[in-house]
Amino acid sequence: MRHVVGLGEGRGGAGGGGASFSGFLSPAKVEHSTLGESPAMKRARVAATGPKAEFFDDAGLDDGDVALAGKVGSLNGELLAEFESLLAFYASKKTEPWRERQYRKIVAVLKNLPFRITCLEDLNRPQCAVLNGGHTRTRVEEFLRRGKIQLAQNLQNDPRTVAISMLMNFGVQGGKGKYGSYVGTSTAEKWYDSGITTLPQLQHRIESDPTFLTHNQRVMWDFRSDFSQRVPRREVELIADVIAGVFPSSSVVEVMGSYSRGAPDCGDIDLLVTCHGDVGRRCSEAVEALTKAQFITATLRDSHHAPGAHSGQWMGGCRLASLVPARPGFADYTLHRRLDIKVYPPKFRAFAQLYFGSGQEFNRAIRLFATRQGYTLSDQGLRRATRGKNEKGEYGTLWEGPLLEDPSGCNWTTEASIFEFLGLPFIPLEDRDNGIGVARLEAMARAQATKPAAEEDCFIVPTDPRSVVAAANLQRLAPLPSLAEGWRSNGIVALDCEFVGVGRNTSGIGGERNALARASVVSYSGDVLLDTFVKVEEPVTDFRIHVTGLTQANLDQGISFQEARDHVIRLLEGRVVVGHSLAHDFKVLNYHPPAVLLRDTSSCPHLRPGDKGKSLKALSEQHLGVKIQDGTHCSVEDARAALYLYRSVQDLWDPTPPVLGTSAKAEALDKHLTEAAENMAAPVATGHNEPLAQHFDRLAARSHHYAKDHYVRVSRTLRSLPYHLQSPKDLLRPELRCVGRGKAHADIVRMLHEGVNEVNKGA
């Protein structure tokens, strides 16, 4: 049961700040405790005891260490300072986002490590994982030996780093780690390169040129002094009450961020509002009222009021003073505060809590974990997803399913349900921003990775001893093509079904329609994931026993059609499906995955039929040298046969993974790709667009991060095109979609008109 502080009660008990803001009496509930433990902390603490203790046992920690956790930091002060210098250096360089991240993790761990590092062996403790890599371990070793890290010493006073850090924080000390100034590494570097290196210079430039700053930068500049002040808990609570006052009474307002972790004061205020109805509209209405009341004093970001949006959000500055008149003996609340408000419908509440209650690294870690499990996790739910490389070699989401329901039936009411779904122990709030939770997630991920393919995914009803015997021939096939990485083994299954005839028996051969009687799915390694008989609702008019070998007794052992279909879809969804004449199977299953995911051995250009035709039996004999379907068919055997046929030509037929959009877009995209494939002449030598490609190589060489990735993609795509790019119209072709509509597009158009050299002269 959650602890809910109603408005009337909370105020009186808290000793009364004397705040009376008529018109802003909060109808909504505010969830926070005015003293001691917050409900979120309590929730976390209660749920934490089991798994946390386990983790620390594994970690080889004793209770003393645990007790220290949370109020340490000075234990490794000197080492921390060294790494903070290194972090500052890399954080000032836009070319080093990943090193920066790594150092950020290192610093986070050192700040919270419950023991002092005195020897190299300490690095073997699991919490020190990030310190135990190649470079970092060497640096720590150097520190233990000489009491300092030379590189850090050298970089510590690097004037460029110092200046850029100053610019990124508008000269405010202790910046970073609270909220952004809207001046990142790129802008700061630009300013630095233009000669702005000191605060007075920056100030002069800002004052003399009214267009120098963007709107958001201007807000952060104007309020930089107020925003840098910590907000006491008491004021956070008052502000939460104000916000609650402008939302419907059924809403719930929760204070997230450092407040929820018990901090005595906060850098900014992060509020999660859960309300029914159109969250976008509720958010807009609230912001409007707060602006009218002069509570909101600046806006940094406001979600457009899009009806039916999944969330509404507003970011900006606020001040209590207009609502809480100054009175002698009480704080006058004149400081402006950074406030974020996010509004979600109840179904996303736990996801939003998870996101806004955790630190960045924890969120990245748990989302990465979800991805590795075949899901994608965000503040707006959980979906099935497969990731891999598409045909252009870009890494990304190949397929994404609809929002998942909570299998526990609790409708994702708690964060715990999300952890449970992902197979993770509940990680308490206090461990979600200090590196400990991240370390636990990474440990879980590693454990998961070494676990064999999920056996609980398999659903096997003992069917027919022949399936084992018959398939043995195929199992002996060796050597199989080496298992390629990623999607080439994980994302592929093979399907085969057996049918019996139902309906009016007109011709004497079979019923007029097919009914599913047995379904089999095997993994890339040939293991049976599903094999079951299926009950047939209608009377069977033809068992086709010479082919299927099935009898009424077999079907009676089976599961219902609906059940079988669910199992099949669960195993096939988002995966490449191999089979022979799959159309029949999908028609009967009434399930139609996008064509880009299908590999039908009956129509494979690399499996040329021989004299005996292109039946599965003939192809197996011809290409695999194996006799199958000797007597009646076995769907496991047939699925394996199709799988091994596929694997025998996989490199030729299927060198790269399929491209897919999200569910809604999938069909359209699939159509595009099919058309593109048809339009495109048979593959010919590549390299037709070398000069264009080289242009993007040059751009890539001097770009960074996302921009660099983009140019590399464009270059690669241009090189691999089987035709000359001649007119801007060609850019409309789907295979060139990755060019986008921006600079790359413009450059290509210009180069087509003016020639490559002209364009490069300009650049």
Interface mask (CB under 7 A) for DNA, residues 465-484, using x and -?
Answer: --------------------
Q: List, in order, residues 6 or more apart from 203 with CB less than 8 Å away.
A: none
Structure token pair of residue 607 = 């499996």
Q: List, in order, residues 6 or more apart from 337 with CB less than 8 Å away.
A: 226, 227, 231, 235, 239, 268, 269, 317, 318, 319
According to CB under 7 A, which one of 93, 101, 230, 750 is a site residue for DNA?
A: 101
Q: Which of residues 259-278 bind DNA (CB under 7 A)?
A: 268, 270
- What's the first-to-final CA gap in the chain, in angstroms? 64
Structure token pair of residue 558 = 């089976």
Of 155, 110, 157, 165, the closest CA to residue 136 belongs to: 110
Q: Which of residues 668-707 bind DNA (CB under 7 A)?
A: 703-707
Q: To the nearest whole angstrom, how small is the minimum distance from the Cβ of residue 632 to DNA?
A: 43
Q: Which of residues 314-333 bind DNA (CB under 7 A)?
A: 315
Contact between 741 and DNA (CB under 7 A)?
yes
Distance CA 625, CA 631 (A): 17
Distance CA 174, CA 156 (A): 16
Contact between 655 and DNA (CB under 7 A)?
no
According to CB under 7 A, which one of 94, 111, 565, 580 is a site residue for DNA?
A: 94
Of 315, 306, 401, 293, the closest CA to residue 665 belongs to: 401
According to CB under 7 A, which one of 311, 353, 648, 715 is a site residue for DNA?
A: 311
For residue 291, count CB atoms less than 10 angstroms from its CB and return exposed for 0-12, middle for 13-18, buried for 19 or more: middle
Q: Which of residues 145-204 bind DNA (CB under 7 A)?
A: 179-188
Residue 190 or residue 587: which is nearer to DNA going by CB? 190
Q: What is the Cα gyration radius of the chain?
A: 31
Distance CA 526, CA 644 (A): 8
Structure token pair of residue 537 = 């609702």
Q: To the nearest whole angstrom, how small is the minimum distance from the Cβ of residue 387 to DNA?
A: 7
Q: To the nearest whole angstrom, how small is the minimum distance from the Cβ of residue 81 to DNA?
A: 16
Q: To the nearest whole angstrom, how small is the minimum distance from the Cβ of residue 137 to DNA?
A: 6
Contact between 542 and DNA (CB under 7 A)?
no
According to CB under 7 A, which one of 61, 110, 113, 130 is a site residue for DNA?
A: 130
Q: Which of residues 420-439 bind DNA (CB under 7 A)?
A: none
Contact between 637 and DNA (CB under 7 A)?
no
Contacts 24+ apart (CB under 8 A), 478-481: 480/644, 480/647, 481/647, 481/648, 481/650, 481/651
Q: To the nearest whole angstrom, how small is the minimum distance from the Cβ of residue 321 to DNA?
A: 22
Contact between 496 and DNA (CB under 7 A)?
no
Classify strands 337-344 and 375-378 as parallel, antiparallel or unpaired: unpaired
Q: To the nearest whole angstrom, how small is the minimum distance from the Cβ of residue 84 to DNA?
A: 14
According to CB under 7 A, which one of 3, 446, 504, 702 is a site residue for DNA?
A: 446
Contact between 302 and DNA (CB under 7 A)?
yes
Contact between 102 and DNA (CB under 7 A)?
yes
Contact between 16 and DNA (CB under 7 A)?
no
Of 396, 372, 399, 395, the closest CA to residue 385 belongs to: 399
Residue 301 bridge partners (DSSP): 315
Q: List, in order, residues 6 or more apart from 213 with CB less than 8 Å away.
A: 206, 221
Distance from CA of residue 739 to its chain's centroid? 24
According to CB under 7 A, which one of 205, 230, 584, 743 is a site residue for DNA?
A: 743
Contact between 720 and DNA (CB under 7 A)?
no
Contact between 389 and DNA (CB under 7 A)?
yes
**H-state helical runs in 404-530:** 415-421, 436-450, 465-475, 487-490
Q: What is the DSSP letter of 621?
A: I
Q: Which of residues 575-634 bind DNA (CB under 7 A)?
A: none
Residue 184 or residue 423: which is nearer to DNA going by CB? 184
Interface mask (CB under 7 A) for DNA, residues 202-221, using x and -?
Answer: ------------xxx-----
Residue 535 or residue 745: which is nearer to DNA going by CB? 745
Contact between 448 and DNA (CB under 7 A)?
no
Helix (H, G, I), strand (E, B) or coil at 727: coil
Contact between 488 and DNA (CB under 7 A)?
no
Q: To the nearest whole angstrom, how small is the minimum distance from the Cβ of residue 186 to DNA?
A: 4
Contact between 391 and DNA (CB under 7 A)?
no
Q: To the nearest whole angstrom, how small is the minimum distance from the Cβ of residue 742 to DNA?
A: 2
According to CB under 7 A, which one of 228, 251, 258, 303 is a site residue for DNA?
A: 303
Q: Which of residues 331-370 bind DNA (CB under 7 A)?
A: 338, 340, 356, 360, 363-364, 367-368, 370
Distance CA 148, CA 641 (A): 64
Helix (H, G, I), strand (E, B) or coil at 472: helix
